[in-house]
Amino acid sequence: MHILIATAGSHGDVAPYTGLGARLHRAGHRVVMATHTRSAELVRRSGLGFHPLPLDRYATSGAEETRGHGPKKGAGLTKAEQLRLARELAPEMADAVTEACASGAEVLLFSSSLAPLGLVAAEGLQLPCAGVFLQPLEPTREFPPVIFDVPSWGPLANRALGQCAQSLLARAFAPGVRHLQRRLGVTREALERRRATWPVHHGFSPAVVPRPADWRPGMEVAGYWWPSEVPGWAPESRLADFLQAGPPPVFVGFGSMTPSDPERLGRLLARALRLAGVRGVVQSTRAGLSVEGDDVLTVGEVPHAQLFPQMAAVVHHAGAGTTAAGLRAGVPAVPVPMMLDQPFWASRLTSLGVSPGRIPFQRLTAENLATAVEKAVRDPRYRHRARQVAALLGTEDGAGRVLAAVERGAGGDRRGDQDPDR
């Protein structure tokens, strides 16, 4: 079977799909990932085919250059800026997604970032499809929408807010959806039928977010699908020597986030680590962080799957992928969320008992970070609970559940069920 996985966004929005794609590939299927050109090496290194999408400006995390507005600095694009950017690029994205889908694929899998367009393409091309989402975006009574950092106001309010969030996302993609409907001759009624019944597999553990009881049939929580690992990876000598030179350090990294003053943040982190009395490994990446000293080492891109198990705790922005990697490693977390779904995952870490609590980035100080890090490292309850959660995740096979659903027919998609050869 020829399977296309389409996704867009930051590194964290792409990496988990390399693991899912590799699992499908090992089962004998031809798998192609359609995503940003900047992710080509990551995809090909995982043994998958690559189809470029001209969407490098569509990155839901971090500072991206937007048309006519120059480089955006700060902790990332605001909700309004991201919605504006998605709306502006929607027709261009729609054509690119359709061309990828029409390149010989027999089954289509879409991340949430491309699902509104992918559904139209799937209907127009009469192909089975499924969603493969990293966040629980479907409205539910059980918690507020993950893109709104608000407390639960009760079942009715949670569901109403969830429907409001979906309406905002639909409005952002509306120009691209209408463009594709005209191009492919897809009626509104046909699209609504597909949207109401298509299967969606969520790439997180039910131990972290149990499946809401009020979700419709076909909305499943599969379990994590882990990023494809770098073959033969070994730490560079500086990192290896640092890890061996003392007790396990604390990891600090903010992924694709781009704080407006990385030098100031670096000084804050150095002071926090010093106050907490711990060693630190700081990941620079897009944040531009650099903290050096006898007890601190700044590194570039390092696979979290290999690094995190060697840490005493992890301080991070609570992106979906980094949150998952920390849970898998069985280490305590200090989440510092900035935007979108990050506060949701940060709150989950606290409710799971693997974190002493979240610190919103806007309220981050050396003192409150040091206090949280000291609790995470010194209080054995957090490590004990982290190891319990990691053991639960080790029993799950999220990618395997998606594979089984795809081989049944895109997880129950009506077109896949009607064609036994697919």
> Domain check: are 366 and 408 in the same one?
no
On whether residue 230 sits in a domain, the answer given is no
What per-residue confidence (pLDDT) applies to 77? 53
Q: Does residue 134 share a domain with residue 15?
A: yes
Judge if 173 and 63 occupy the same domain: yes
- Looking at the domain assignment, is residue 231 inside a domain? no
Greater confidence, 422 or 370? 370
User: Cα–Cα distance between 322 and 266 in angstroms, integer?
Assistant: 20
44 vs 89, higher pLDDT: 44
pLDDT of 65: 37
Greatest mean pLDDT among 193-197, 264-268, 370-374: 370-374
> What CATH number is attached to the domain comprising 317?
3.40.50.2000
What average pLDDT does this structure show over 294-302?
90
Residues 205, 62: one domain? Answer: yes
pLDDT digits (tens, 9 = 90+) for 95-139: 888 989 888 999 999 999 899 999 999 999 999 999 999 999 999
Q: Where are the beta strands (DSSP E) in 310-407?
A: 313-316, 333-335
Shared domain for 361 and 405, answered yes or no, is: no
* Residue 76 near residue 64, CB atoms below 8 Å: no
Give the mean model confidence (pLDDT) for residues 83-93.
75
For residue 193, being part of any structural domain is answered with yes
Range of the structural domain that residue 274 is part of:
237-394
Examine the domain organization and report whether 215 and 254 are in the same domain.
Answer: no
Inside any domain, residue 420: no
Q: Give 151-182 pLDDT, tens digit per residue.
A: 899 999 999 999 999 998 888 889 889 999 99
Q: What is the full DSSP assignment across 143-166?
A: S--TTS------HHHHHHHHHHHH
Q: In this structure, is residue 247 part of a structural domain?
A: yes
Q: What's the number of domains the chain is made of?
A: 2
Q: Are residues 191 and 159 in the same domain?
A: yes
Could you tell me what percent of the chain has a pLDDT over 70? 89
* Same domain for 259 and 154: no
Angle at 254 between CA 352 and CA 345, to 5 degrees: 25
Task: Tell me, yes or no, whether 95 lies in a domain.
Answer: yes
Domain identity same for 184 and 250:
no
Same domain flag for 254 and 345: yes
400: in domain: yes
Domain match, 139 and 56 both: yes
* In-domain check, residue 422: no
- Residues 181-223: tens digit of each pLDDT: 999 999 999 999 999 999 999 999 999 999 999 999 999 999 9
Rounded to an integer, the average pLDDT of 415-420 is 41
Q: Enter the pTM of the model.
A: 0.89
**Other beta carbons within 10 Å of 207:** 18
What is the per-residue pLDDT for 81? 66
> Residue 422: pLDDT above 90?
no
Amino acid (1-letter code) at residue 40: A
244 plus 95 within the same structural domain: no
